[in-house]
Amino acid sequence: MAKDFLSLYDQYFDHVYRYTYFKTGNKWDTDDLVSDTFRKAFEKYATLQAHPKAWLMAIARNTVIDFYRKKKEVVTDREELEKQVYDYSLEEVLGRHDELRCLKKALQSLPKEELEIINLKYFSELTHQEMGRILGKTVDAVKRKSLRIVRKLAESVHRCLEGK
């Protein structure tokens, strides 16, 4: 078991890390949360049937939400908690790629559920099928949604570069 788990770990650590980092915006929380994610995965590994990456990313996603839940003194629903993720200046995490300044600005203005899709698809490198499993959507719905967001980003970047 341990050997298989380690190959899962080696294969997906970077994806889990970037996913969590992009969601929380700081290294300290990310370190703690990524450790938690893999510990939970290690404990539950025997229950894994198929789609290991989707399974692992779902654990990561829930771990981040649980973290914000624990910080709350009163019980809050998931929707309310989702508002707390991506709540930081992207500049700090994504660094100063000047040529990408407009893209960062465009990302910053996206609603959080759309950022989540960008994070899962581009930063965590999930397939549409894996994303569908995590988000509870059909593959087609995920594809359509991703394309819409990318087009929206393209428009914003275009406007930004023209200085509008």
Q: Are 112 and 85 in contact (CB under 8 A)?
A: yes
Q: Which is nearer to another protein, 2 or 136 (CB)?
A: 2
50 binds another protein (CB under 8 A): no
Q: From the CB of 22, what's the least distance to another protein, in Å? A: 6
Closer to another protein by Cβ: residue 71 or 78:
71
From its phi and psi, is residue 15 left (phi > 0), alpha (psi between -120 and 50) or beta? Answer: alpha
Q: Of 5, 58, 82, 127, which one interacts with another protein (CB under 8 A)?
A: 5
Select from 12, 30, 60, 117 the one that contacts another protein (CB under 8 A): 30
Q: Which helix (H) or strand (E) holds 71?
A: helix 52-71
Residue 96 in contact with another protein, rule: CB under 8 A: yes
Q: What angle do CA 13, 25, 113 make, to 5 degrees?
A: 85
Ordered DSSP codes for 74-113: S---HHHHHTTTT-S-HHHHH---GGGHHHHHHHHTS-HH
d(CA 116, CA 98): 23
Binding region for another protein (CB under 8 A): 1-2, 5-6, 9-10, 13-14, 17-18, 21-22, 26-32, 34-35, 38-39, 42-46, 88-89, 92-97, 100, 103-104, 107, 118, 122-123, 147, 150-151, 153-155, 157-158, 161, 163
